[in-house]
Chains A and B, each alone.
Chain A
Amino acid sequence: NAGVTQTPKFQVLKTGQSMTLQCAQDMNHNSMYWYRQDPGMGLRLIYYSASEGTTDKGEVPNGYNVSRLNKREFSLRLESAAPSQTSVYFCASIQSTPGELPQHFGDGTRLSIL
C-alpha cells in the first residue's frame, strides 16, 4: 500500500526550464492537492482537484498549471521555472467526506531553481 507517491524526489532546474511534478495515489480518493513549503513556513495550497476532471486555484497558483489526468494522478507543471519557485512540493489526497480520514501526504519533491 504505497499511499501517495511523488516523483521525482529531488530536481535541480535552471531558470526558464520547464518540468512536471507527478503525483499518484492508490487509495481511490476523490480530492487531490498540491502544496508548497518554503523554509520555516507552513504549507501553502497551490492548486487542488475536488474530483476527477475539475481543478481550482489555491492560495499561490501563479506560475503553475495542473492536470488531473485520472482519479489516481494529479500533476503540477512549471512552464518557466523561476528562483522564487525553489521549494518543497507536497501532494496530498482525501476522500472528501467531512470527518473522514484527512489528507494523506506524499514525501515531497525538493526543487531547486538556479
Chain B
Amino acid sequence: DAKTTQPTSMDCAEGRAANLPCNHSTISGNEYVYWYRQIHSQGPQYIIHGLKNNETNEMASLIITEDRKSSTLILPHATLRDTAVYYCIASNYGGSQGNLIFGKGTKLSVKP
C-alpha cells in the first residue's frame, strides 16, 4: 500500500465546505484512494473511495488529481457532527493482505 500524508489537524466553520487534502505520491496504478472517519472512539466509518475519476455520494466528494498523486475530500456543508479524525488510505484489496493501513489522519474540528 502506498504511504499517505495528511495534515495533523484542521478547523472549519459550521456550514462551510471542509476540504481535507491527502498526498499519495507513490500510489500505484491499481490502488484505490479510500477515506474513512472516526468520530470520538467509535469504529471507523467508510466515507468514499475512488480510483481515477472524481466521486460524489451523499456524504462527500472526492477529487483526485490527474496524476493521482494527491486527492481532496470535500464535505460541502460541514456540521458539528462532522468533527472527527479523517483517514486517507491508498490500497489495493487484490493484494495478499487486503487490509487498510491507517495512519494518524487529520483531526477536523468544526466550529460554530
Residues of A whose CB lies within 8 Å of any CB of B are: 4, 31, 33, 35, 40-45, 48, 50, 56, 58, 88, 90, 92, 94, 96-108, 110
Contact = CB atoms under 8 A, between A and B. Distances in A.
A42 B42 contact: no
Interface in B41-55: 41-46, 49, 51
Contacts of B43: 4, 90, 92, 105-108
The SS class assigned to the B binding surface is loop
Nearest to B46: A102
Contact of B100 (A56, A103, A106): A103
A33 B93 contact: no
Interface residues of B, number: 26
B98 A43 contact: no
A14 B32 CA distance: 42
9 contacts: A33-B99, A42-B103, A43-B102, A48-B97, A94-B98, A102-B49, A103-B44, A103-B100, A108-B43
